[in-house]
Structure 1
Amino acid sequence: MKPFYILYIFLLLSIASCTDVIEVDVPEAPPRLTIEASLDWERGTTGTNQTILLSTSTPYFAEQKIAPVLGASVRVTNTDTGAEFVFEDQSNGQYTTSSFIPVLGDTYLLEVIYNNERYTATETLVPVSNIVDVFQSTENGDDEDALEVNVTFEDPAGVENYYFLRFQSDADLFPELYYIKDEFIDGNEFTIYYEKLADEDDGNAEFQSGDTVDIALYGISEQYHDYLRLLVDQYEFAGNPFSPTPVPLVGNCVNMDDPENIAYGYFRVTETIKTQYTFE
């Protein structure tokens, strides 16, 4: 048997000697400013407290995934009234104000000055429709035994509307997002359901009695609707071999001094209705 062991050891040494460390140079894009400016006015509140987040993009394999931006100048102006709202630097990438005044139908201009470059974006504060009902069922989803939460809202007639609906389960890390255009529901009540299917590979479980879901309905602009459509589609089809190649999404924030040095993120101004549902 000794020759067998000698041959076995020889084979192991041969395999080990053929193992080389291959270092692959991963191309890195220059860091870009990322603007997360969601000025959401929840109906029934003053909407005065608002926060804008600034960071820079980082390489994929970087240890620090979020690089907060400090020392920027951030302000929002109501172009209809001329009112200005300065967002104060909190030294952690957050810029806040406690004096914002939301006015439905008015247009707002965001201005961010960073590294001596000026970024701007405009959005109009769009009203949101009323939520008529929130209820549970097992009738609409793919699994007739699985619980689902339903949200019914009323679309006003004769007005072109766009909506953003967000479900956040207390058991899930990421929310479920829907973008809606009223092209085929104008002037009618419309119901959207959210169902979770059990998936052992992903660790997902169906809704159970006692589970809670946070729900938010936003009135949004057509421009933001189109941005969301691209964002959600890229997220949902990630990993699908037949899906288009993902590309960096460019929002509405424009670099006025160097258009080639684009910014990521989006500036939105919305009215929102928020509620919560607990399964029985």
Structure 2
Amino acid sequence: MASFKYIFLFTALACLVSCEDVVDIDLDTDEPRLVIDAGIEWVKGTDGSRQTVKLSTTTGYYTSDIPPVSGAGVNVVNSSGTVFNFRENPGTGLYVCTDFEPVIGETYELTVTVDGQTYTAGEKLMSVPEITRIEQDIAAGFQEDEIEVTFYYQDNPEEDNHYMARFEADVLVYPEYDIDDDRFTQGNEMFESFSHEDLEVGDRVDIRLSGISERFDNYMSLVLDAADSDPFGTPPANVRGNIINTTNETDYAYGYFRLSEVDTTSYVVK
């Protein structure tokens, strides 16, 4: 039995070493769908008047360019009927509003009209506590100890809250996200941590803490689960957000409309 294990290991290693050619698999590509990136963020200490909605379409797996969507009508309406229009920077797919009025607890509705289709979504602007302190420690990593950065914030005991933490650093290709709620920590001090095997003294870690709705918590949890899924398991289904096509429900869009108060800070590793 031991001999068989060694033979199997040698064969597997030989296969890995010999597979040097890059193989592009011919994947089926669906018709492009609209992608609406509508994250309204009111950063503490700002008036929140400048907001951006990005429109693009899905594309092939091996395509690095993301096609922008131009010529759309984009607006957000609050519960009092005030309309905030988003106008495109020509040819970019970026639609900008410069007079948005963020109000905690206010309900807003997004409308996007493009190519004869109308897409809508509604959400409430969620509050967030301040980041109170940051600590640095050493955490046990996969191969060796890693520097760990932890930030703390105080949960509001009067509300059921959901939070999203975002970490950016030079050691990351893409930002890292964490989702949390106060189901078991109501009214207590809460924290989120970030560590990486390549994090070194002098590196800067940018931190964003957002208040989010329970619906967005559920959505983002599915997105993160899909991103971390077992590569040898069943491929995850496409994750749908809260955006509805009121013209033709089968021609749905991807993305999510959310509104968050945000606290930001940066930390330099010591």
Identify the TM-score tier after normalising by the shorter chain.
Answer: 0.7 to 0.9
* Percent sequence identity over aligned pairs: 37
Q: 2:39 aligned with 1:38, yes or no?
A: yes
- On the 8 A contact 2:171/2:196 being kept in 1, the answer is no
- On the 8 A contact 1:152/1:192 being kept in 2, the answer is yes
Q: Which moved more, 1:169-178 or 1:46-55?
A: 169-178
Q: Indicate the SS of the match to 2:224.
A: helix
In structure 2, give the amino acid aligned to 1:250. R
Aligned to 1:10: none
Identify which of 261, 265, 269 aligns with 1:275: 265
Alignment of 1:162-177 (within 5 A): 162-177=162-177
Q: 2:147 aligned with 1:147, yes or no?
A: yes
Query: Considering only CA atoms, is the larger Rg found in Structure 1 or Structure 2?
Result: 1
Q: 2:221 aligned with 1:222, yes or no?
A: no
Aligned to 2:82: 83
Distance 1:29 1:152, change over 3 A: same
What is the alpha-carbon distance in structure 2 between the residues aligned to residue 120 and residue 214 of structure 1?
32
What is the alpha-carbon distance in structure 1 between the residues aligned to residue 189 and residue 263 of structure 2?
16
In structure 2, give the amino acid aligned to 1:30. E
Offset of residue 170 of structure 1: 2.4
Offset of residue 60 of structure 1: 2.3
Aligned to 2:109: 109
**What is the aligned residue count?**
246
TM-score by length of 1: 0.83
Distance 1:269 1:110, change over 3 A: same
In structure 1, give the amino acid aligned to 2:57. T
What is the alpha-carbon distance in structure 1 between the residues aligned to residue 140 and residue 183 of structure 2?
22
What is the alpha-carbon distance in structure 2 between the residues aligned to residue 245 and residue 72 of structure 1?
33
- On the 8 A contact 1:76/1:110 being kept in 2, the answer is yes
- On the 8 A contact 2:244/2:253 being kept in 1, the answer is yes
Q: Deviations over 1:222-277 (max 9, x none)?
A: 000001100111112252x24x4211111111000100011011111100000000
Q: Indicate the SS of the match to 2:146.
A: coil
Q: Indicate the SS of the match to 1:71.
A: coil
Offset of residue 29 of structure 1: 1.0
Alignment of 1:27-106 (within 5 A): 27-62=28-63, 65-79=65-79, 81-91=80-90, 92-106=92-106
- On the 8 A contact 2:53/2:96 being kept in 1, the answer is yes
Q: 2:203 aligned with 1:211, yes or no?
A: yes
Runs of 4+ residues over 4 Å off in structure 1: 139-144
- On the 8 A contact 1:138/1:144 being kept in 2, the answer is no
Offset of residue 25 of structure 1: 6.0
Task: Name the one with the larger strand percent.
Answer: 2
Q: 2:263 aligned with 1:262, yes or no?
A: no
What is the alpha-carbon distance in structure 1 between the residues aligned to residue 71 and residue 134 of structure 2?
44
Offset of residue 178 of structure 1: 0.3
Alignment of 1:116-195 (within 5 A): 116-139=116-139, 145-195=145-195
Q: Deviations over 1:3-27 (max 9, x none)?
A: xxxxxxxxxxxxxxxxxxxx98642
What is the alpha-carbon distance in structure 2 between the residues aligned to residue 234 and residue 52 of structure 1?
24
What is the alpha-carbon distance in structure 2 between the residues aligned to residue 32 and residue 40 of structure 1?
25
What is the alpha-carbon distance in structure 2 between the residues aligned to residue 24 and residue 66 of structure 1?
20
Q: Indicate the SS of the match to 2:71.
A: coil
Identify which of 234, 249, 252 aligns with 2:239: 249
What is the alpha-carbon distance in structure 2 between the residues aligned to residue 87 and residue 238 of structure 1?
39
Q: Indicate the SS of the match to 1:65.
A: coil
What is the alpha-carbon distance in structure 2 between the residues aligned to residue 193 and residue 43 of structure 1?
21
Aligned to 1:18: none
TM-score by length of 2: 0.86
Distance 1:122 1:263, change over 3 A: same
Distance 1:109 1:251, change over 3 A: same
What is the alpha-carbon distance in structure 2 between the residues aligned to residue 131 and residue 109 of structure 1?
29
- On the 8 A contact 1:52/1:95 being kept in 2, the answer is yes
- On the 8 A contact 1:215/1:276 being kept in 2, the answer is yes
What is the alpha-carbon distance in structure 1 between the residues aligned to residue 86 and residue 155 of structure 2?
34
